[in-house]
């Protein structure tokens, strides 16, 4: 492989804002695996956000890219999987599997797509020094004849349309909106774009903690909601705290620590069968193959209000943010019924936009 932009490339990143800023180029924020595609003739490599190779996990996508993108180019975009008109991140996670036979099977039953939103190189020229608006024009021209499963990401400079996308596209499983300065060159690894994500709040039961890697202070709070059968289901974690706050939380929660998991709603976590599902904290990571089963059970008596962006199935898609304790709430009131569901929106309409 001999391209004007060579792997590894760490993609340009975004910082969070509360509102969509004016005067930008706007795109939907995709919920998938960020990937840089390098193509030099028949050679194709897919690099992750951390520059780890993704190529072996998506053989069907490699074949599709070989047929649909220019013979020498570097693209920045997102690998996604759609089901029933929505993005399905759980199905995407399943694609990271060590067994080649499993990878080939999943490539057939849950094929991936690639949504391209930047063009870093074309032919013998690096486009990274060019402004965003110029790279966008080159991307549109380069992919004008591309067909599924390769798509150019919809983009606009209309602020009102971007606000409309922010509301409508969530129903297709998208995260929010990304704003890019139109005159900015591509700056690998820097947070120079702006992302505006959906945020909601929920009252959750704190049913366990995990220690921080630095020692016996709170690393994360394990959150639960009651389902229709009255079972407390694990829905995610709340983990971003200053060190002083981690120590304070440990002191606050110490009286609720249980001597063992016996009698705890999540005592089944210790079983091999439960861990094999990969849906519980301490399950094996699809990226590293390692597992960390350490967690401390708490009596499920405290309620915390957390902020979250959206749900993936029955769990928070990303780490939730601590807002406040809710001593005025009873744990039994922490149910799925409080969560709002966005109006559904067909992903094919987004990609056709």
Catalytic residue positions, numbered: 29
Please give the backbone phi and psi of residue 184, each rounded to the nearest 5 degrees, phi first.
Answer: -90, 135
Q: What is the dihedral of CA 277, 304, 247, 262, to 10 degrees?
A: -50
Strands of the chain (E only): list them.
13-16, 25-29, 33-40, 43-48, 72-80, 82-83, 86-87, 113-122, 125-126, 150-152, 155-156, 176-180, 191-197, 200-212, 215-226, 232-238, 296-308, 311-312, 315-316, 321-325
| Alpha carbon distance 184, 182 (integer Å) | 6
Token representation of residue 315:
């769990």
| Alpha carbon distance 226, 233 (integer Å) | 6
106-140 core/surface letters (b: 16 or more CB in 10 A; e: else)? bbeebbbbbbbbbbbbbeeeebbebebeebbebbe
Token representation of residue 335:
């149910």
Q: For the chain, how big is the Rg over CA atoms in Å?
A: 22
């Amino acid at each position: 492989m001999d391209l004007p932009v060579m792997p590894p490339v760490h993609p340009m990143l975004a910082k969070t804002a509360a509102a969509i800023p004016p005067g930008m180029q706007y795109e939907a924020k995709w919920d998938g695996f960020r990937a840089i595609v390098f193509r030099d003739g028949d050679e194709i490599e897919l690099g992750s956000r951390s520059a780890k190779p993704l190529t072996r996990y998506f053989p069907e996508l490699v074949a599709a890219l070989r047929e649909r993108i220019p013979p020498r180019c570097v693209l920045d975009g997102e690998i996604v999987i759609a089901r029933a008109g929505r993005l399905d991140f759980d199905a995407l996670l399943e694609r990271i599997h060590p067994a080649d036979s499993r990878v080939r099977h999943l490539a057939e039953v849950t094929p991936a797509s690639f949504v391209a939103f930047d063009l870093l190189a074309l032919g013998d020229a690096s486009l990274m020094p060019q402004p965003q608006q110029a790279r966008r024009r080159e991307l549109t021209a380069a992919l004008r004849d591309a067909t599924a499963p390769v798509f150019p990401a919809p983009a606009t400079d209309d602020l009102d349309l971007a606000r409309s996308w922010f509301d409508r596209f969530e129903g297709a499983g998208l995260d929010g909106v990304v704003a890019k300065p139109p005159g900015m060159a591509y700056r690998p690894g820097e947070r120079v774009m702006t992302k505006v994500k959906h945020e909601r709040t929920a009252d959750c039961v704190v049913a366990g903690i995990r220690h921080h890697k630095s020692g016996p202070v709170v690393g994360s709070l394990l959150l639960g909601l009651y389902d229709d059968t009255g079972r407390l289901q694990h829905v995610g974690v709340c983990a971003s705290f200053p060190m002083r706050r981690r120590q304070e939380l440990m002191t606050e929660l110490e009286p609720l620590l249980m001597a063992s998991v016996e009698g705890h709603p999540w005592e089944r976590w210790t079983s091999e069968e439960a861990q094999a599902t990969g849906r519980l904290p301490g399950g094996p990571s699809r990226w590293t193959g390692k597992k960390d089963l350490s967690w401390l059970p708490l009596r499920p008596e405290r309620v915390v209000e957390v902020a979250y962006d959206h749900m993936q199935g029955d769990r928070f898609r990303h780490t939730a943010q601590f807002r406040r304790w809710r001593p005025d709430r009873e744990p039994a009131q922490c149910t799925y019924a409080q969560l709002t569901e966005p109006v559904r929106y067909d992903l094919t309409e987004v990609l056709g936009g």
